[in-house]
Chains A and B, each alone.
Chain A
Amino acid sequence: MSAVEQAEVVVIGAGVGGGAIASRLLESGVRVVMLEQGPHIDPLDHAQLRTDWEFSLTREWAFDPNVRGLDEDYPVTGDGFNPFLFNAVGGSTNHYGGFWHRMKPAEFRKGTEHGLANSEDWPISHEDLVPYYEENDRRFGVSGLAGDPSHPPREPRPTPPLRHGPYARIIADGLDRLGWHWWPADNAIASVPYRGRQACNNCGMCTPGCPRGSLGTATEAYIKPALRAGLDLRVGARVVRICTDHTGKASGVEYVDRATRAMHRVDAPLVVLAANGIGTPRILLNSANAQAPHGLANEHDQVGRNLMLHGYVLADIWYDQPTGHFMGPWGASTFSHEFHATDAMRGAVNGMTLTFGAGFGPAAVSLGGTTGIAPVAWGQAHHAEFARAFDHNVFAALQIEDLPQSDNRITLDPDVVDSSGIPAARRHYRLHENDRTLLEFGTQRLQEFATASGARSIDVQPVDDRYNPPGWHLMGTARMGARPESSVVDSWHRAWNVPGLVICDGSSMTTGGAVNPTSTIGAMALRCADGLIASMRSGLAVAADPAPAGRA
C-alpha cells in the first residue's frame, strides 16, 4: 500500500451521479478526487466508423459486462434479468439511448397512492427536483418540444426537437387513430451545436456511444467541465472498500490501480459513492468490518434490496412501407403516456410508458430485429425476405413501473471475483404479480397500436418463463427514505448511521417511476451537491439525522 493521501472529497464512480456531484462541488471551490475503475473512452473507440458496427454490440460495446469481459468489468452472476451497464468515464451513459423523461409528481408518492410491496413516498417531491431537472437538462443539452399537457408546465428545452426518419410519421398517425396521448420524445441529444458539442447528424445508432459528442453523456455534461475546473480524475482506479474510523464515520477509501495492481488509500472527511444500482451495494457490502459486519450502512439489512429495473416488453413492428429505421437518432421519436397513471380497472397499480422509434441496422434486422424473434429466412428466399424486412421496421418498448421488493436484490457472490480479486455482484430478480398484469395489459396495447398504424405484423417478447428483461435501469438498491428501517440514505443522500458517507446514483431512487431514470439521477445529484455545499459552508457535519424523519 502506498502512503495515505488526504483529500477534501472522494467521489467513487465517474457516471451521472458522481459526475454531477463532482462538477458542482468543484464549481464551488471544493477539491475533488474521483476514482473510476474504467478508462477514458476516445472518440475513435466508438464503433460507428466501422461497417461492422453492429458486431461491436456483441463485443466491446455489448451491454452486458459478462459478455464484454473487459478488465474494467466486474462479473454480475445470478439471474432474473440481463445486467446492462458500462464501466468507464461517463459510466453507463457511454452507450445509453438518451431517452429523457422527468418523473411526474405522482411518481414520488407511491406510498400514499397504494403502498403495495415496499412502495413508499419519496422523502422529496417532484417540486424539490424541478430546478435541478432544469439545470441537468441544460448540462445534457436535451432536445425536445415544450407544451406536453401530460406534464407540469416547464421551461423550453435547451435544443429544438430532433428530426427522425419516416417512422416518426407512421407512429404519430397510428397513435392519433387510437386517440391516445403522444408527444415527440425528449432526448439527451443535442439537435444543434451546443456548448462545444456537435449537433446530432442522425447517424442512426447511439448505443455504441457517440463519437461526435452529440449524445449527452455524463462525460459531456459533467466530467469534461469538471476536468476543466481541476477535477483529479483517476482512471483504472477500482475501489475495494470504504474505510471507517473508530466512531463508524467514513474516513476514506482503498482502491487498486488496475494497471499496476498496487493498493492505494485516500482519506477524506467526505466520501461520495456513485457506482450505480449494482456497483454501489457491491462496494457497501464489501466494506463490511468489525463495526459493520453485514456491510456499511446496512444495519437494517436494506443494502442491495428493492432492486427495480422497470418491467420491459420489447417489440419489432413491421410495415409494408419504408420506415427508414436506420436513420435519425436511436433516441426515441415518440412516447405515449396514455396509460401512465394508475388505473385500478387494469387490475394493477402503477403505469407505463410506450416508447417508439428507430430500430437497428441490417445485421440486426436479418437476425429478427431488436427482439430476434423472427430472423429473415435463409436459402433461396433470403434476399427477397430481407428486402421486405430492412427499412420496414419500427422499434417499440413497453416499460412499466415495477414494485420494489425485498427479495429483488444485489448481494456478493461467495465464489466469483473480478480481475482485482473483489467479489462479483450477484443478482436476483422476479416480477411481482402486479408487474406481470401491467406487462400483459401493455402488450395488448402494443398489438392494438400495430393494427392501428397499419403494420404488417408485430413480434412481441412474451412475458412467460423465458422472461429475462433488459436491466439497464438499475434502481433502488440503496434507496432514499424517511426511515432507516426501510432505506439506506436520508432525503439528502446521507447514509443512515455512517456520517461522512453520501450515496447518490440510480440506487438512491425510492421507487422507479415508469420512465427512464437518468434525468432524475442527474437532478438528484445536483440537489445532493447543493446540500453538501451548504453543509460545508456552514461547518455542519454530513450526517443523517433519523429523528424526526427528515423531509426535504
Chain B
Amino acid sequence: MTDITMRHPSRPGFYNCGLPAAVRSSLAEAGDVLIPRSDTMPPAGDIAALFVSERVSPAEAAELEGILGALTEVSVATLTDLELNRPERFAVLRTWVYQAYYGSPVVTGLMQLQGSAYHGAPQPFGYELHEDAPVPTEPRGTFIPTEEVVRVRR
C-alpha cells in the first residue's frame, strides 16, 4: 500500500495562474479604496494584489476579472454602486481584499507595533495567560436521574 503524501491543490501558490496585469492593477486600485491609508496603516491595494495573485484559482481569477472589468472606473462611487446593486459581487471583492490585508505579515506586524497583542501566525508562540478561568461562586443547576425520567405533559 502506498503511503500518500497529499499535495493540497488549494495550498498557496499551487495554482500558479496569477492575475492578468489589468485585473491586478484594478484590484490594487480597489484595495486602496476599500482600505485606504491611515496615519499608521498602509492601504490594501498592493498587499491585496500580491496575496490574491499568489493564491487565486483560474475560476476565481476569471470571477474577479468579471467583477472588476465591469466597472467603468475604480472609485468610491462605482464601488458604492456595486455594493448597492450587485452585493454578491461586491462581497467577493471585499472578502479577497480583507482576507489579504489581515493575512499579511506587514499588517499584523504594524498592528503589533501599535500595541495589539495579536501576533499574526498563532504558532509557535501562542499567548501567555496568567489568570485562571473564572469559577462560579454560587453553583447552580440540577439533572434528572435515569430512573426519574417521566413523560412530560405537552
Closest CB of chain A to B76's CB: distance in Å?
6
Closest CB of chain B to A412's CB: distance in Å?
26
B-contacting residues, A180-216, CB 8 Å? 180-184, 200-205, 211-212
Contacts of A172 in B (CB 8 A): 134, 136
Interface residues on A, range: 35 or more
Closest CB of chain B to A217's CB: distance in Å?
16
A43 nearest in chain B by CB position: B123
B34 touches A382 (CB 8 A): yes
Q: With an 8 A cutoff between CB atoms, is A328 at the interface?
A: yes
A325 nearest in chain B by CB position: B118
A378 touches B2 (CB 8 A): no
B1 touches A60 (CB 8 A): no
A161 touches B132 (CB 8 A): yes
Contacts of B141 in A (CB 8 A): 148-150, 181, 183, 337-338
A115 nearest in chain B by CB position: B151
Of the listed residues A105, A126, A362, the one surrounded by the most CB atoms of chain B closer than 10 A to its CB is A362
Report how many A-B pairs have Cβ atoms within 8 Å.
Answer: 228
Report the separation of the CA atoms of residues A337 and B10 in the bound assembly, to the nearest whole angstrom: 40
Q: With an 8 A cutoff between CB atoms, is A168 at the interface?
A: yes
Q: With an 8 A cutoff between CB atoms, is B111 at the interface?
A: yes
A204 touches B121 (CB 8 A): no
Q: With an 8 A cutoff between CB atoms, is A48 at the interface?
A: yes
B-contacting residues, A430-466, CB 8 Å? none
Contacts of A259 in B (CB 8 A): 2, 4
Contacts of A52 in B (CB 8 A): 12, 51, 99, 103-104
A-contacting residues, B106-154, CB 8 Å? 108, 111, 116-118, 120-146, 149-154
A379 touches B36 (CB 8 A): yes
Q: With an 8 A cutoff between CB atoms, is A467 at the interface?
A: no
A39 touches B146 (CB 8 A): no
B3 touches A378 (CB 8 A): no
Question: Given the interface contacts A55-B55, A112-B150, A149-B142, does A49 sit within 8 Å of B124 by beta carbon?
Answer: yes
Contacts of B105 in A (CB 8 A): 51
Contacts of A365 in B (CB 8 A): 102
Report the separation of the CA atoms of residues A344 and B153 in the bound assembly, to the nearest whole angstrom: 7
Question: Given the interface contacts A257-B2, A258-B4, does A152 sit within 8 Å of B129 by beta carbon?
Answer: no
Contacts of A341 in B (CB 8 A): 143-144
B44 nearest in chain A by CB position: A382
A39 touches B6 (CB 8 A): yes
Q: With an 8 A cutoff between CB atoms, is B74 at the interface?
A: no
Closest CB of chain B to A327's CB: distance in Å?
4
Contacts of B120 in A (CB 8 A): 51
A149 touches B140 (CB 8 A): yes
Contacts of B132 in A (CB 8 A): 161, 163
Q: With an 8 A cutoff between CB atoms, is A165 at the interface?
A: yes
A145 nearest in chain B by CB position: B135
CB-defined interface of A105-135 with B at 8 Å, one 1/0 digit per residue? 1101100111000000000011100000000
Contacts of B134 in A (CB 8 A): 168-169, 172, 184, 334
Contacts of B140 in A (CB 8 A): 149-150, 179-182, 338
Contacts of B135 in A (CB 8 A): 145, 184
CB-defined interface of B3-16 with A at 8 Å, one 1/0 digit per residue? 11110111110000
Q: With an 8 A cutoff between CB atoms, is A324 at the interface?
A: yes
Report the separation of the CA atoms of residues A183 and B140 in the bound assembly, to the nearest whole angstrom: 9
B146 touches A333 (CB 8 A): no
Q: With an 8 A cutoff between CB atoms, is B41 at the interface?
A: yes
A163 touches B129 (CB 8 A): yes
Question: Given the interface contacts A106-B149, A378-B35, does A201 sit within 8 Å of B127 by beta carbon?
Answer: yes
A363 touches B102 (CB 8 A): yes
A212 touches B35 (CB 8 A): no
B154 nearest in chain A by CB position: A344
B146 touches A148 (CB 8 A): no
A165 touches B136 (CB 8 A): no
Question: Given the interface contacts A68-B10, A327-B129, does A183 sit within 8 Å of B2 by beta carbon?
Answer: no
A55 touches B145 (CB 8 A): no
B121 touches A53 (CB 8 A): yes
Contacts of A257 in B (CB 8 A): 1-2
B-contacting residues, A9-62, CB 8 Å? 38-40, 45-46, 48-55, 58-60
CB-defined interface of A370-385 with B at 8 Å, one 1/0 digit per residue? 0000011011101100
A51 touches B146 (CB 8 A): no
A377 nearest in chain B by CB position: B34
Contacts of B123 in A (CB 8 A): 46, 48-49, 201, 203, 211-212
Q: With an 8 A cutoff between CB atoms, is A391 at the interface?
A: yes
The one of B127, B139, B149 that contacts A203, using a Cβ cutoff of 8 Å: B127
Q: With an 8 A cutoff between CB atoms, is B72 at the interface?
A: no
A363 touches B2 (CB 8 A): no
Report the separation of the CA atoms of residues A58 and B92 in the bound assembly, to the nearest whole angstrom: 13
Question: Given the interface contacts A54-B103, A203-B123, does A375 sit within 8 Å of B98 by beta carbon?
Answer: yes
Contacts of A380 in B (CB 8 A): 36
Q: With an 8 A cutoff between CB atoms, is B38 at the interface?
A: yes
Closest CB of chain A to B5's CB: distance in Å?
7
CB-defined interface of B75-111 with A at 8 Å, one 1/0 digit per residue? 0100100000000000000110011011111001001
A191 nearest in chain B by CB position: B133
Report the separation of the CA atoms of residues A338 and B140 in the bound assembly, to the nearest whole angstrom: 9
CB-defined interface of A135-165 with B at 8 Å, one 1/0 digit per residue? 0000000000101111110000000011111
A182 touches B136 (CB 8 A): yes
Q: With an 8 A cutoff between CB atoms, is B33 at the interface?
A: yes
Measured CB to CB, the residues of A under 8 A from B are 38-40, 45-46, 48-55, 58-60, 68-72, 104-106, 108-109, 112-114, 125-127, 145, 147-152, 161-165, 168-169, 172, 176, 179-184, 200-205, 211-212, 234-237, 257-260, 324, 326-328, 333-334, 337-338, 341-342, 344, 349, 361-363, 365-367, 375-376, 378-380, 382-383, 390-391
**Besides the contacts A342-B152, A344-B154, A367-B99, what 9 more A-B pairs have beta carbons closer than 8 Å?**
A106-B149, A109-B146, A113-B149, A113-B152, A328-B129, A341-B144, A366-B102, A378-B94, A383-B35
A-B contact pairs, 26 of them (CB 8 A): A50-B121, A51-B120, A51-B121, A52-B51, A52-B99, A59-B11, A69-B10, A104-B143, A106-B149, A150-B142, A151-B143, A162-B133, A163-B132, A168-B133, A176-B136, A202-B128, A204-B122, A236-B3, A260-B2, A326-B118, A337-B141, A361-B118, A362-B118, A366-B98, A376-B98, A382-B36
Complex A-B, nearest 5 residue pairs according to Cβ-Cβ distance, in ascending order: A201-B126, A150-B141, A52-B103, A203-B122, A59-B10
